[in-house]
Structure 1
Amino acid sequence: MEWLEIIWRTILVIIILFTLTKLLGKRQLGQLSYFEYITGITIGSIAAYVSMDLDITWYYGILAMVVWTAVVYGLESITLKSKFVRDIIDGKGVVLIKDGKIMEDNLTKLHLTADDLLEEMRGKNVFKVADVEFAVLEANGKFNVLLNKENQPLTPKDLGLKTVPEREPQTVIIDGKIMDEPLATIGLSREWLHTELDKIGVAIENVFLGQVDAYGELFVDCFDDKIKIPQPQQKALLLATLKKCEADIEMFGLSSNNSFARKMYQECSEQLQNVIASLYPILSR
């Protein structure tokens, strides 16, 4: 009954591979070192032989897989403590552009051409070498670029604006089912959720995915893409109302003949402008 032996060998190999992989930890494919990449291929090949080749002693293959895993695990433990060993095993990042100048010698060492460099830059939405302050090819093969200061996008900090901390959204509906734990995390209830769904006219069973952001807004995606979900207007209305109030106060100040009243209106207008500026990141979403 060779087919039965193949079945139990395959199941055994799957269990062992899963255990060994969990032991080595989680890394994305692009983060693997060359040695880890080779090890993965080798262990996979050994596992295939153990499953299918009935002429070999199966536990020798298992032993080889365990030895390979132990070597990788030992090297990972050493690299965590020694930068010298880490540089040998994982390698180091190589600078390809510095101060807008291409490092041709480094390109040659990595066997890269100018076309390869330009392709990597286009992948980062950068099309001009002179716009690059610093570019490096990381040890895991990723290409990272730092643009010149004048070519970097503006941030609220550059504009002198303060932003409120952003918390991750909570997924409260999946496949038409309410997730009670995320709801409790943000202090909301099922009754609140049903009320919000009633406002937009969507039944819970029609919701594929529902999320609540840090500001208490519910966003849903329906199974039927033809259903149009009305966007919440409360924040937009509040922002418009605040702007109208600020404009009215400023107009009152301009139309007043009393210098004391004009000054008071001006101060109130400036205070309301500051309030609007501080709330704008929240209300404009």
Structure 2
Amino acid sequence: MNDVIHIALRAFFALITLFIVTRLNGKKQLAQLTFFEYVLGISIGDMAAYVATDLENNLVHGYTSLLVFALIPFLVDYLSLKSKFVRDLFEGKGTVLIKNGKVLEENMKKERISTDELLEQLRLKGNFKIADVEFAMLETSGELSVMPKKEAQSVTLKDLNSVVDAEHEPETVIMDGNIILDALKASGHNIQWLNTELEKAGVTLDNVFIGQVDAQGQLYLDLYNDQLQIPEPSENQLLLATLKKCQAEFELFALETKSSESKKLYNKAAAKLQNAVEQLTPYLK
């Protein structure tokens, strides 16, 4: 029984050590690991299993070897940052497989890449015809980087000489039927605006799974009930919603301004709009 407890404790601490080593090694995915890092990872895993199960093994010696193997990648990474020779030695170099629209058969043989594998990698990149590929390189991670020919590339806004506003990440203002106040404030809106938008869409807050505001101030709603279609608001409803939105923005301006005169002016405008909304609501609903 004592041996079982001993093995369980050794396995637990070996697992903790592996977790710490993995976290310190960064966030590289398996496909991003070099061959050297892959071999080291396997070795460290085998050593941790050996330390956990071999009761006759000296625990200090086992963890010392683990520590040495864990420190080697950090040393190699440091030297790689300082020297291109070390970087090429441990990480390797990319291999060009297609250049100027021509397949380089010798490089394919060197990397042991068959024609079927090349075609598969091209298809995964959305290129079904070799004739459309200008350049392709097999990276050190094993991924294939592809540059299509100019005539096979998608048209971009730059090609059309079109200038658009910079895109920003959307703010998730509703999650699981709850309003995220910090995100709502970051989007430049307040609760009154959000309630107006929900009223415009004809949905209640508790039926909203996710709500996001994009860079243009548009609210996207995903409902719990996928069968429920968000109706398009009528012109009267849009007018009413716009009035409520303006009233809410005047209140927001009044809260944000430090000028007492401006605050009074915004509050007065908000009160007038509120009065107009109350009078027009029966006719616009």
Give the number of equivalent residue pairs. Answer: 235
2:87 paired residue number: 86
Correspondence list, 1:105-120, <5 A: 105-120=106-121
User: Bigger shift: 59-68 or 119-128?
Assistant: 59-68
Secondary structure (helix, strand or coil) at the match of 2:210 reads: strand
1:131 paired residue number: 132
CA shift, 1:150, in A, is 0.9
Secondary structure (helix, strand or coil) at the match of 1:133 reads: strand
Contact 2:200 2:233 (C-alpha < 8 Å) held by counterparts: no
CA shift, 1:41, in A, is 1.6
Structure 2 segments unaligned to the other structure (5+ residues): 239-285
Structure 1 segments unaligned to the other structure (5+ residues): 238-285
Quote the Cα distance in structure 2 between the aligned partners of 1:27 and 1:145: 22
User: Bigger shift: 34-43 or 10-19?
Assistant: 10-19
2:268 paired residue number: none
Correspondence list, 1:192-231, <5 A: 192-230=193-231
Question: Are the structure 2 counterparts of residues 58 and 165 from structure 1 closer, same or farther at C-alpha, using a change threshold of 3 Å?
Answer: same
CA shift, 1:78, in A, is 0.6
2:158 paired residue number: 157
Cα deviations by residue, 1:125-148 (Å, 9 ceiling, x for unpaired): 212212111111111111111111
Query: Partner letter of residue 98 of structure 1?
Result: K
Give the TM-score normalised by the residue count of structure 1: 0.75
1:274 paired residue number: none
Give the TM-score normalised by the residue count of structure 2: 0.75
Secondary structure (helix, strand or coil) at the match of 1:89 reads: helix
Question: Are the structure 2 counterparts of residues 12 and 149 from structure 1 closer, same or farther at C-alpha, using a change threshold of 3 Å?
Answer: same
Quote the Cα distance in structure 2 between the aligned partners of 1:176 and 1:12: 42
1:64 paired residue number: 65
Query: Partner letter of residue 171 of structure 1?
Result: T
Question: Are the structure 2 counterparts of residues 9 and 232 from structure 1 closer, same or farther at C-alpha, using a change threshold of 3 Å?
Answer: farther
Quote the Cα distance in structure 2 between the aligned partners of 1:212 and 1:100: 44
Quote the Cα distance in structure 1 between the aligned partners of 2:163 and 2:88: 40
Quote the Cα distance in structure 1 between the aligned partners of 2:216 and 2:61: 59
2:105 paired residue number: 104
1:275 paired residue number: none
2:50 paired residue number: 49
- Identity, in percent, stands at 46
1:6 paired residue number: 7
Quote the Cα distance in structure 1 between the aligned partners of 2:14 and 2:182: 37
Query: Partner letter of residue 161 of structure 2?
Result: G
2:272 paired residue number: none
Quote the Cα distance in structure 2 between the aligned partners of 1:73 and 1:45: 20
CA RMSD of aligned residues (A): 2.3
Question: Are the structure 2 counterparts of residues 106 and 202 from structure 1 closer, same or farther at C-alpha, using a change threshold of 3 Å?
Answer: same
Question: Are the structure 2 counterparts of residues 133 and 44 from structure 1 closer, same or farther at C-alpha, using a change threshold of 3 Å?
Answer: same
Quote the Cα distance in structure 2 between the aligned partners of 1:185 and 1:157: 30
CA shift, 1:230, in A, is 4.3
CA shift, 1:31, in A, is 1.1
Question: Are the structure 2 counterparts of residues 203 and 140 from structure 1 closer, same or farther at C-alpha, using a change threshold of 3 Å?
Answer: same
